[in-house]
Amino acid sequence: MIPAVMPTYARSELTFERGEGPYLYATDGRRYLDFSSGVAVTSLGHAHPRLVAALTEQAGKLWHCSNLYQIAGQQRLAERLVSLSFADTAFFCNSGAEAMECAIKVARKHYAESGHEERYRLIACNGSFHGRTLATLAAAGAKKYLKGFGPPTPGFDHVAYGNLNEMRATVSKETAAIIVEPVQGEGGLAVASTEYLKGLRAMCDEFGLLLIFDEVQSGMGRTGKLFAHEWAGVTPDIMALAKGLAGGFPIGACLATENAANAMTAGTHGSTFGGNPLAMAVANEVLTVMTEPGFLPQVERVAKVLRAKIDALAKAYPKVFVEARGKGLLVGLKCAVPNLEVLEKLRRAGLLTVAAGENVVRLLPPLIIDERHVEEAVGIIDAVARAWP
């Protein structure tokens, strides 16, 4: 018999009843150190007092009024995101996939309205992940996720991640944009080099293409900068955000330059729940916390400590681990043994992590951790690796 909850996830048995900072408390009475953050979502940890206050204050005032009216929180969040980034405008939705759908639509509309309807194709990278809608699945091109869902949405080409020559050879008169994750989250924590991102920007400028960065996972402080592309000093024309943006309240955002979004006029796109006052209240508070002096430098500092220790673990246990990967607090441990077995043993020892492609275990702690939490996590990983049969 099919479970009442459609069984699209291979779920663990654990049920959590509350969270506090980087810890989750399960109904089995145990406490877990959460180095998954709900897959990079609870960026400020669980039950952050300022986020709870922002949400409950808004909850007593207004939940929803639709986008047929002005929404003050939306105006404020958009202005702040614009001032903190390359962008001139922002569209709010409810998930990463929707943010990427908007990015694709913005790019196609830009060319269609300038008399170039033939320029509808987008080039994306192997190993990428952009969401589970039909268009975002086609964008990423992973066969295992597309199988059985009919003909993939047309208009996407795929090349190797990090290969500028192949990208260049794939650009045609029909190309509208290039889509890249500055760090491949689901794919296995490959990090784009500065040279690669600079090369993509130059290529887009040369051929008149729009550059789309999917920062749904890498954005919002996860790498120690507000956006991962800041490390390379390269800006896109369009960017998708979601996961960490409202610390666990559903949200997505598509940011764009004025030029890229010039054809997005009234009626071209929409979302019933997008930009809802509750999501806006929490996201505005997340942004306030993240932009306070010292917050991101502290993320960078603690990330360096974690990475040094993970590098050391990888060296110390070559039978279990191959190498450490990733950037900031988006860390991957490539395993020499099945990653799911490592993940399961870590969970039993009280540390929650997430699997990624290429046999990687992902460590995605909330950005509020300090060195004690790093010590605790590293101690657990060390014990599991040492006891490996």
Ligand X SMILES: *Cc1c(COP(=O)(O)O)cnc(C)c1O
| Interface residue list for ligand X (CB under 6 A) | 95-97, 100, 129-131, 181, 185-186, 214, 216-217, 242-243
**CB 177, min distance to ligand X, A:** 15
Q: How many helices (H) and strands (E) does the chain have?
A: 12, 15
Other CB atoms within 10 Å distance of the CB of residue 292? 10
Write down the H helix ranges in the chain. 37-40, 49-59, 72-83, 96-112, 134-140, 143-146, 164-170, 194-207, 277-290, 295-316, 339-348, 371-386
* Sequence-separated (6 or more) residues with CB below 8 Å from residue 24: 16, 18, 31, 32, 34, 46, 352
Three state DSSP letters for 68-130: CCCCHHHHHHHHHHHHCCCCCEEEEECCHHHHHHHHHHHHHHHHHCCCCCCCCEEEEECCCCC
Give me 31's structure tokens. 């406490």
**CB 248, min distance to ligand X, A:** 12
Which residue among the candidates 86, 105, 213, 214 is catalytic per the annotation?
214
Q: Please, which residue, 234 or 314, has the CB nearer to ligand X?
A: 234
Closest CA to 241 of 328, 325, 131: 131
Q: Please, which residue, 245 or 374, has the CB nearer to ligand X?
A: 245
CA-CA distance, 20 to 46, in Å (whole number)? 5
Closest CA to 318 of 380, 228, 388, 229: 388
Give me 4's structure tokens. 């009442």
Q: Find where tokens 């589970």 sit.
A: 132
Q: Please, which residue, 42 or 217, has the CB nearer to ligand X?
A: 217
28 catalytic? Reply is no
**Which residue number places its CB atom closest to ligand X?**
96
Beta bridge partners of 326: 331
Residue type, 14: L
Q: Please, which residue, 81 or 251, has the CB nearer to ligand X?
A: 251
Which residue among the candidates 243, 309, 327, 334 is catalytic per the annotation?
243
**CB 276, min distance to ligand X, A:** 15
Q: Please, which residue, 181 or 230, has the CB nearer to ligand X?
A: 181
Give me 195's structure tokens. 């040279």
Q: Find where tokens 């295992």 sit.
A: 144
Q: Please, which residue, 217 or 276, has the CB nearer to ligand X?
A: 217
Q: Please, which residue, 32 or 213, has the CB nearer to ligand X?
A: 213
**CB 6, min distance to ligand X, A:** 16
Contact status, residue 91 vs residue 269, Cβ threshold 8 Å: yes
129 catalytic? Reply is yes
Instruction: Indicate which residues carry an active-site annotation.
Output: 129, 214, 243
